[in-house]
Amino acid sequence: MRKIRVLVVDDSMFMRRMISDLLSQDAAIEVVGTARNGQEGLEKARALKPDVITLDVEMPVMDGVTMLQKLMQEQPTPVLMLSSLTTEGAEITLKCLELGAVDFITKPSGSISLDIYKISSQIIEKVKAAAQARVAATSVPTQATAVVSPARAVIARRGGDAPLVVIGASTGGPRALSVVMSSLPADLEAKILLIQHMPEGFTRSLAERLDRNSPFIVREAQGDEVLEPGVAFLAQGGKHLKVERGSRLVLTQDPPVHGVRPAVDVALLSIAQNYPGKVVVAILTGMGSDGAAGVRALYAKGAYTIAEDESTCVVFGMPRAAIQTGCVKRVVPLDQVAQAITEGVKELCSSSRAA
């Protein structure tokens, strides 16, 4: 079997050595080169044509963000960012995901993490996932710019009986969510929940970025909120999100499901059990099968179900698993997901009025 060829780019000699040693422990991975900065990283990427690149952000000569931009224009390659847990680090990481990085790894203790070995299994798993990813020769995704009114919070909406839209995503999700949320119409009569696989410390920044480009108010869920039309709540990183009776949001530290927290299935199954209203579900790009069980349960209760088409997925795992349940009504490319959601909401509203 052909090994996954990896290029490690980091300005710290210690980190280059540690990451290389950790990856080399896996028989399926071969570290074919290392680089000290973004300029050297680009040169070695051109020469070595690796399957995956691990990329630090802060480096001399050329930083990781600049290298990523140039790489995605010249030679699209799956990139795994190394991120710090700071607020600034989260912002830069999310920018890199928008620019085309597949995923990121959080350094346990700063730019030079002496305890990087603690996350060795995570690094290996994410490198293997990145090797399967589809990356496109684009810098920033083409998307509609939301025209957001300063008074959007008081736009007349349907009220408590507005359908609930739930969007779940994993690898490639932040970029996909940005495309979908910026494309939804401002007058859509819906409440929204967003579940993105992401560790603690990153979802607040993601919510703020989505909020700036969406006609909906986007907030990181804190727990005890009540679903409301015109507002999208993003599941908090590192915690499961459930919907209890009365449309109340609850955060829990229950064990990970499918190896992740928040898990899409946890949210969807709680909705199937506790939410009496109409539901639209969209499963976007992501590794694994999270969301499939929830799609099956909600479809049985009349939900309008959507999955992203393989042609636009970074990783066609979660959508494939949902489709394989036989409970997905629409399969559409990413640029048509917002339209499919809108049509689903209108169809459910029409059926409610007819009833």
Active-site amino acid positions: 170, 197, 290
**Residue 32: CB atoms within 10 Å:** 17
Query: For every residue of 139-187, which 3-state class applies, written as one string?
Result: CCCCCCCCCCCCCHHHCCCCCCCCCEEEEEECCCHHHHHHHHHHHCCCC
Sole residue written with tokens 């990283």? 41
User: What letter would DSSP give residue 3?
Assistant: P
Tell me how long the chain is.
355
Q: Which of 47, 17, 24 is nearest to 112 (CA)?
A: 17
Whether the CB-CB separation of 260 and 197 falls below 8 Å is answered with yes
**Residue 74: CB atoms within 10 Å:** 12
The string of DSSP codes covering 215-241 is SSEEEE--SS-B--TTEEEEPPTTSEE
> Strands, E, within the chain: which ranges?
4-9, 29-35, 52-55, 79-83, 103-106, 164-169, 191-196, 217-220, 231-234, 240-244, 248-252, 279-283, 304-308, 330-332
Q: Which of 256, 306, 262 is nearest to 280 (CA)?
A: 306
- CA neighbours within 13 Å on the CB side: how many for 275? 32
C-alpha dihedral sign at 260, 261, 262, 266: positive
